Amino acid sequence: MNVLRKAGGMGIRSLLFYTKNKCMAALNSNEPCMTCLFGHYGGHFPVKKVLLVGGAGYIGSVLAHELLERGYAVRVLDRMYFGDQGLADIKDRVEIVVGDLRDMPPTSLDNVEAVINIAGLSNDPTAEYNPAANYEMNTTASVALAKHCLEKGIRRYIYASSCSIYDFGVVDQQRDVLVDETAKVNPKAAYSSSKYAAEKELLPLASEKFCVTALRKGTVFGFSPRMRYDLVVNTFVKDAISKGFISLHYGGEMWRPMVDIRDAARAYIALLQAEQEAVNGQVFNLVNGNYRISELALRVRETLREAGIQVEVRPDYSYKGVRNYRVSGEKLYKILNFRPQVSIEESVRTMVQEIRKGNCTDFDNPKYYNISWMRFLEEAHKVIQITGSVFNLPESSSLALSA
Ligand SMILES: NC(=O)c1ccc[n+]([C@@H]2O[C@H](COP(=O)([O-])OP(=O)(O)OC[C@H]3O[C@@H](n4cnc5c(N)ncnc54)[C@H](O)[C@@H]3O)[C@@H](O)[C@H]2O)c1
């Protein structure tokens, strides 16, 4: 054995150091650690196949690409609310199961070693639109899925939570401080309280046999093949390009923790590969920086100006429904040595490049705005139940088509 050969020339301290470093290399590559006494794999148990629930979404599509790049097999289970555009170029390399988190096909957990659950309703307006469905997806079904994993002997479950759990609104300046995972929270909105309720049921399921982690992401920005223009930085870029100005709700006074989409994908992989003892039963924030919305707008404006796009920034105090919170991402760094890398400026430049290539330029298409799209689908569903397909004859029709 490699390690025994090495042991001859090393003291016990340097041997342990050597072994740990080799293990860290294995963690990063998902390769088995051939030099380790215990035959460790990344995460200290082998993960070869990952079930990505919600893997066709904004973050899911980027994460699916990143997982494939690192050699994981990927099964996506998704209701496909936004179609499969996000997976278009990897369709032949991922297994796609069209289904609902609340009613998963029994075989969807077969042969997977880890589940990342990034499905469900993913913002305030959609959660408010149907709070009952929101709770079913983001809490009840997300907890039930973890319990199924436990029954099936699947050892790792990562839940997509949100920093909006920390929201305290713009009224209370005494509470306008940086908070970490230990902060007392009391979310009120349908979306954030459903995320928190799920965390509270999920984390106690953690045991030696089952590693459960919740990742509270800040607001994500950046380009995805399943694009969203209803997230603040993305909205700014879209408004700047399509209208020539950016509107600052509430004057842009509120704070937001922010993170790029590729960093979000890499954080999920870091959690997937982390040693179980380091992350089990824990919550992690994922934040690259906290910004006032007004600063975000200025950063976007300057980056666009360098790209030859002139933009005006307009404060708007008519809109009051704003979130406000500042969050620390230090725990992820201290425990996993993970730091987000992609700045707002870099992410905006990538977005502009993609848009200039002609990607996702139909800015008015409701599919880029979760609430508009879901409302549209619901209305279409009601109409189509009555009319059937728009251009085909109704099935009951006695009319014969003449040639
Ligand atoms: N985007 C952000 O800024 C952000 C920030 C914090 C947390 N989150 C969380 O991260 C996750 C992913 O967010 P996103 O921005 O990619 O959202 P998204 O809406 O683009 O993607 C969600 C995906 O899940 C699928 N889905 C929804 N309900 C489902 C169900 N019942 N069964 C199966 N599939 C279902 C949708 O079809 C979609 O493909 C969500 O849980 C969201 O709450 C997102």
Note the pLDDT of residue 401.
55
Query: 370: CA distance to ligand 1 center in Å?
Result: 10
Would you state the pLDDT for residue 398? 66
Half-sphere exposure of 21 toward its Cβ, with a 13 Å CA cutoff? 7
* pLDDT for the residue 321: 66
Q: Residue with the nearest Cα to atom 43 of ligand 1?
A: 122
pLDDT value at position 251? 86
pLDDT at 20: 44
Q: Is residue 35 part of a domain?
A: yes
Q: Are residues 254 and 235 in the same domain?
A: yes
Question: In Å, what is the CA distance from 120 to each residue of 37, 56, 140, 194, 215?
Answer: 41, 12, 11, 10, 15
Boundaries of domain holding 307: 47-372
| Total domains, the chain | 2
Is residue 32 located within the same domain as residue 119?
Answer: no
- Given the CA of residue 217, which atom of ligand 1 is nearest to it? 6
- Residue 254 or 196, more confident: 196
Q: 403: CA distance to ligand 1 center in Å?
A: 47
Q: Is residue 380 part of a domain?
A: no
In 3D space, the residue among 30, 22, 236, 8 whose CA is nearest the CA of residue 113 turns out to be: 30
**Per-residue pLDDT at 393:** 82
- pLDDT for 234: 98
Least confident of 193-197, 283-287, 398-402: 398-402
Q: How far is the CA of 366 from the centre of ligand 1 (A)?
A: 16
300-313 per-position pLDDT tens digit = 999 999 999 999 99
Judgement on whether residues 173 and 269 belong to the same structural domain of the protein: yes
Mean pLDDT of 52-66: 98
Domain identity same for 167 and 60:
yes
Taking the CA of residue 185 as centre, how many other CA atoms within 13 Å lie in the half-sphere pointing to its CB?
28
Which protein residue has the closest C-alpha to ligand 1 atom 28? 120
Q: Are residues 153 and 30 in the same domain?
A: no
Helix then strand then coil, % of the chain, to nearest 5: 45, 15, 35
Task: Specify the pLDDT at position 171.
Answer: 60
CB 84 within 8 A of CB 56: yes
Q: What is the DSSP letter of 394?
A: P
Mean pLDDT of all residues in 296-324: 91
Chain-centroid distance, C-alpha 45: 24
What confidence tier does 295 reach under pLDDT thresholds 50, 70, 90? very high
100 and 12 within one domain: no
364 contacts 229 by C-beta, under 8 angstroms: no
To test ligand 1's pocket by mutation, which of 122, 159, 223, 323 has the most ligand atoms within 8 angstroms of CB? 122
Average pLDDT over residues 138-164: 97
Nearest CA to ligand 1 atom 42: 122
Identify the pLDDT of residue 45. Answer: 64
Are 119 and 259 members of one domain? yes
Reported as a pLDDT band with limits 50, 70 and 90, residue 169 is: confident
Residue pLDDT, tens place only, 75-105: 999 999 999 999 999 999 999 999 999 999 9
Question: What are the pocket residues of ligand 1 if the criterion is a CB atom closer than 6 Å to any ligand atom?
Answer: 54, 56-60, 78-82, 100-102, 118-120, 122, 137, 160, 162, 217, 219-220, 226, 228, 231, 370
Does the residue 386 lie in any domain?
Answer: no
Question: Same domain for 11 and 109?
Answer: no
Please determine, for residue 337, whether its predicted confidence score (pLDDT) is greater than 60: yes
**pLDDT single digits (tens) 18-51:** 444 444 444 444 444 443 443 333 445 678 999 9
| Residue-level pLDDT at 324 | 87
Same-domain check for residues 69 and 211? yes
Dist CA 231 CA 352 (whole Å): 16
- 51, 53, 58, 137, best to mutate for ligand 1 pocket (most atoms within 8 Å of CB): 58
Mean pLDDT score across all residues of the chain: 88
Long-range contacts of 383-387, Cβ-Cβ distance < 8 Å, separation of 24 or more: none
pLDDT value at position 396? 72
Q: Which pLDDT value is given to residue 316?
A: 87
pLDDT score of 46:
79
Question: How many angstroms does the Cα of residue 118 sit away from the middle of ligand 1?
Answer: 5
Determine the average pLDDT of the residues in 54-71.
98
What pLDDT is stored for residue 4 in this prediction?
A: 37
Higher-pLDDT residue of 53 and 186 is 53
The residues, ordered by sequence, that sit 6+ positions from 158 with a Cβ below 8 Å of its Cβ are: 114, 115, 116, 117, 212, 213, 214, 215, 268, 271, 272
Coil/strand/helix, residue 143: helix
Residues 70, 204 within the same domain:
yes
* Residue whose CA lies nearest to ligand 1 atom number 1: 220
Q: What does the pLDDT look like over 252-289, one tens digit per residue? A: 988 999 999 999 999 999 999 999 999 999 999 999 99
Please check whether residue 212 lies inside any domain of the structure: yes
Between the CA of 308 and the centroid of ligand 1 the distance, in Å, is: 33
Residues 37, 156: one domain? no
Q: Which two tokens stand for residue 243?
A: 């209208």
Shared domain for 4 and 98, answered yes or no, is no
- Using CA positions, which residue lies closest to atom 44 of ligand 1? 122
Residue with tokens 């920005």: 221
